[in-house]
Amino acid sequence: IDEPPTSAVLLEHCSFSQVVFSSVEKFYVPGGDVTCYYSFTQQFVPRRKDWIGIFKVGWKTTREYYTFMWVALPSDLNKESTKQQEVQFKAYYLPKDDEHYQFCYVDQDGVVRGASIPFQFRPETEE
Amino acid sequence: GYSGDESVASHFALVTAYEDIKKRLKDSEKENSFLKKRIRALEEKLVGARADE
């Protein structure tokens, strides 16, 4: 199996890593709400129409999001923007299959600013 | 079609997922080979115990 050309991506890495997702679980219990934790790098300024989407791994365009939430803007951008932020996805809107999904942060110009490790919706013990 | 930026972004997101799943596979294989060893050891014990009966 050929590996994808990661070196080409590393050059562009910075612009895609301005939002960092943290505490992403490998599995989320089906039927439960999901809290997505993320933080902004220092130089990144979030805007009102930025959003976080849940995408099936292998997505091609940002229009393919499964569901999305607008980001919660920190009240004081200077003071709080580097702190951990969170947004909650309600169970009702989450995928019902066991495919791999990931969070992606998309800014109001449609530029992807961060992508998370993948996760699935299934109980951890079920194989 | 989609813009070049978007295809690079989608590629970056895919690589992020790929690298992590590859790491999980490696961990699973490690755990698997540990379990195989464990099974073999228990099998030997079991066979030994039967021989003693």
**What ipTM was reported for this prediction?**
0.82
Nearest to B25 by CA among A98, A13, A118: A118
Residue A22 to residue A14: CA distance in whole angstroms: 17
Give yes or no for B16 touching A (CB within 8 A): yes
- A106 against B5, higher pLDDT: A106
Residue numbers in A near B11 (CB within 8 A): 4, 9
CA distance A74 to chain B (A): 25
How far CA A99 is from CA of A28, B7, B14, in Å, comes to 12, 21, 14
Matching residue, tokens 């003071």: A79
pLDDT averaged per 10 residues in sequence order, chain B, 53 residues: 75 97 98 98 91 79
Q: What is the pLDDT of residues A12-44, one digit of tens each?
A: 456 789 999 999 999 999 999 999 999 999 889
CA distance A67 to chain B (A): 17
Residue numbers in B near A25 (CB within 8 A): none
For residue B17, give the nearest of A9, A16, A100 by CB distance.
A100
Q: What is the pLDDT of residues A46-87, one digit of tens each?
A: 999 999 999 999 999 999 999 999 998 877 766 666 678 999
Instruction: Annotate B14-44 with DSSP letters as a single string.
Output: HHHHHHHHHHHHHHHHHHHHHHHHHHHHHHH
Residue numbers in A near B19 (CB within 8 A): 6
CA distance A82 to chain B (A): 22
For residue B18, give the nearest of A4, A55, A110 by CB distance.
A4
Q: Closest chain A residue to B2 measured between Cα atoms?
A: A61
Write down the pTM of the prediction: 0.84
Give yes or no for B41 touching A (CB within 8 A): no
